[in-house]
C-alpha cells in the first residue's frame, strides 16, 4: 500500500461514515473499532452457513427440474447449490472432482446394471461409495420394493425416498441428511 494512503479494513478509502482507519503497525496498541473481516468457520474449516452442495442424479428431466426447484425453495440455515445430471457416467465424473454435502440418486438409471433386475441404483451406489464419497446418499425410487430399500440402506445409503415424493418428508430428510454432514 502506498505511504500516506489511508484505507479501511476493507481496503477502500474511508468515507465520512466509515470507522477510523486501521493501524498498520504490529504493536498491541490498535485504533479503536479497527477490525479485520473474518468469516465464521465451523470445526472442519468450512465457512459456516455457506451453501450446501447437492448433486441430483435422475434420468428424467422433469424429476430433476422439480427436485431442483423444491430443494432451492427450502429455507434452512443455509442456501443450497444444486448440480443435476441425467447420466451415471457424468455423475461419476463429477464426483471424482467435486465434493457434495448430499447426493440424491435414482434407483433406476439406464446405462448401468441389469434393467430386468432393477439393480442400477444399487450398482451406482456401490460405485459412488468406491470413489470414497462420504456425503449422505438418498436413494429415490417409484418402486416400493422393501428388499431393494433394505439393501440400499445396508450398502450405505443414508435414506430412501419414494416417488411420488411426500413434500414434507422430502424437506425433512434433505435437512436431516445435510445436517449430518456437519456432525461427521
Output the 3-class SS for the chain. CCCCCCCCCCCCCCCCCCCCCCCCCCCCCCCCCCCCCCCCECCCCCECCCCEEEEEECCCHHHHHHHHHHHHHCCCCCCEEEEEECCHHHHHHHHHHCCCCEEEEECCCCCCCCCCCCCHHHHHHHHHHHCCCCCCEEEEECCCCHHHHHHHHHHCCCEEEECCCCHHHHHHHHHHHHHHHHHC
Instruction: Look at the chain and report how many structural domains it folds into.
Output: 1
**Tens of pLDDT along 15-72?**
545 444 554 554 444 444 444 445 454 444 555 568 999 999 999 999 999 999 999 9
Tell me what pLDDT residue 108 has. Answer: 86
pTM exceeding 0.85 = no
Domain that holds residue 146: 52-183
Q: Copy the grid coordinates of residue 122.
A: 444399487
More confident residue, 108 or 25: 108
Tell me what pLDDT residue 183 has. Answer: 52
Lowest mean pLDDT, pick from 39-53, 78-92, 135-149 = 39-53
Tell me what pLDDT residue 48 has. Answer: 56
Q: What is the CATH number of the domain that holds 179?
A: 3.40.50.2300
Residue 14 domain-assigned (yes or no): no
Average model confidence (pLDDT) across the chain: 80
**Tens of pLDDT along 128-139?**
999 999 999 999
Answer for the pair 91, 106: CB distance below 8 angstroms, yes or no. Answer: no
Residue 46 domain-assigned (yes or no): no
Amino acid at each position: 500500500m502506498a505511504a500516506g494512503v489511508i484505507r479501511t479494513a476493507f481496503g477502500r478509502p474511508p468515507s465520512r461514515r466509515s470507522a477510523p482507519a486501521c493501524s498498520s503497525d504490529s504493536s498491541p496498541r490498535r485504533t479503536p473499532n479497527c477490525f479485520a473481516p473474518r468469516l465464521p468457520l465451523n470445526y472442519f474449516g468450512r465457512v459456516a452457513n455457506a451453501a450446501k452442495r447437492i448433486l441430483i442424479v435422475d434420468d428424467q428431466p422433469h424429476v430433476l427440474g422439480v427436485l431442483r426447484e423444491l430443494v432451492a425453495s427450502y429455507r434452512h440455515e443455509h442456501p443450497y447449490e444444486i448440480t443435476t445430471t441425467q447420466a451415471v457416467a457424468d455423475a461419476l465424473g463429477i464426483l471424482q472432482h467435486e465434493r457434495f454435502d448430499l447426493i440424491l440418486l435414482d434407483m433406476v438409471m439406464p446405462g448401468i446394471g441389469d434393467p430386468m433386475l432393477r439393480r442400477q441404483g444399487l450398482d451406482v451406489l456401490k460405485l459412488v461409495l468406491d470413489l470414497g464419497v462420504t456425503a449422505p446418499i438418498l436413494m429415490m425410487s417409484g418402486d416400493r420394493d422393501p428388499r431393494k430399500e433394505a439393501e440400499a440402506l445396508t450398502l450405505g445409503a443414508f435414506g430412501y425416498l419414494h416417488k411420488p415424493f411426500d413434500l414434507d418428508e422430502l424437506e425433512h430428510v434433505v435437512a436431516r441428511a445435510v445436517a449430518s454432514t456437519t456432525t461427521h
